[in-house]
Amino acid sequence: MSLETVSTSRSHGGVQGVYRHRSRATGTDMTFSLYMPPRAGEGARPPVVWYLSGLTCTHANVTEKGEFRRACSELGLAFVAPDTSPRGADVPGDPGGAYDFGLGAGFYVDATREPFSRNYRMWSYVVEELPELIGAHFPVDRARQSIMGHSMGGHGALTVALRNPDRYRAASAFAPIVAPSQVPWGMKALGGYLGDDRQAWRKHDAVALIEDGARFDSLLVDVGDADPFLTEQLRPEMLQQACARAGIPLTLHLRPGYDHSYYFISTFMQDHLRWHADRLG
């Protein structure tokens, strides 16, 4: 579990780092960013917020554009941003070079279909390996964790939380793909990684998980009403209906004039981090 430091920078009294390691889950080198807030005292261990990014992104997108560090410093939150897929010359991508499958588009699943099953094990990486690595190398409180994400990463955050409700104290999403088994991005990804058995897709679909009995204390979702992917790919009304039927408290904000970009995310990042801090204690 060795770790290479790529860079560190002082920010808002804490340290923004970028790190690289060899992943046993993906069989590749993986890079992630971690912001450690100022420590409140000797032996202090901050809670951890996991942030899962969207299609085409790496750890760098939210690290450079998310505007989370001031809030994390004030609230005492560690903030971890992994990559969205394995990478490397030998890692297969989309045969046609499309942006919505393969490199940069791991969809936070463990692929079972060749040739992707060798490297595309992002579920195991995000849920098991990376938390173990962070806990071994940084003074964080792994008993207090929460998770959030954007778009494909919003899908990942919701499914991870719904399948692990005892591990994460809060979950939120910006413009999530809430029902990937019913929209084009998700059908392409789940079919490509998991094959044609749609029953196997359900554990990676937030709406299907809720329909099948998964529960979480409460969820926060923000979506822009000017998001070009709103009606075809995101479908937040489906999550709203599923949560209403299941009795899951959902705070859903439809933000007038906002799109899918990091201008949108950075505007409401502080709101989400305060939501997480309230629940992390």
The pLDDT of residue 41: 66
Q: What is d(CA 185, CA 189) in angstroms, rounded to the nearest whole number? A: 6
What phi, psi does 94 have (nearest 5°)?
-70, 130
Q: Is domain 4-280 in CATH 3.40.50.1820, yes or no?
A: yes
> In the predicted model, is pLDDT for residue 129 greater than 80?
yes
pTM over 0.95: yes
**Where do the domains of the chain lie?**
4-280
Contacts of 177 by beta carbon, 8 Å cutoff, 6+ apart: 151, 152, 154, 155, 183, 185, 186, 233, 234, 235
Mean pLDDT of 7-20: 98
Report residue 1's pLDDT band, with 50, 70 and 90 as the boundaries.
confident
pLDDT tens-digit map of 162-176: 999 999 999 999 999
Please report the pLDDT score of residue 40 as a whole number: 67
Q: What is the pLDDT of residue 39?
A: 81
Residues with catalytic function:
151, 227, 260
pLDDT of amino acid 44:
87
| 186-197 mean pLDDT | 98
Average pLDDT over the chain, rounded to whole? 97
> CB under 8 Å to 19, separation ≥6 — which residues?
3, 4, 5, 6, 31, 32, 33, 34
Backbone angles phi, psi at 144, to 5 degrees: -125, 95
AA letter at 216: F
Per-residue pLDDT at 10:
98
Can you name the residues that pair with 16 across neighbouring β-strands? 9, 35
The predicted-structure confidence for 43-71, as pLDDT tens digits, reads as follows 789 999 999 999 999 999 999 999 999 99
What is the pLDDT confidence band of residue 8, given thresholds at 50, 70 and 90? very high
The pLDDT of residue 148 is above 70: yes
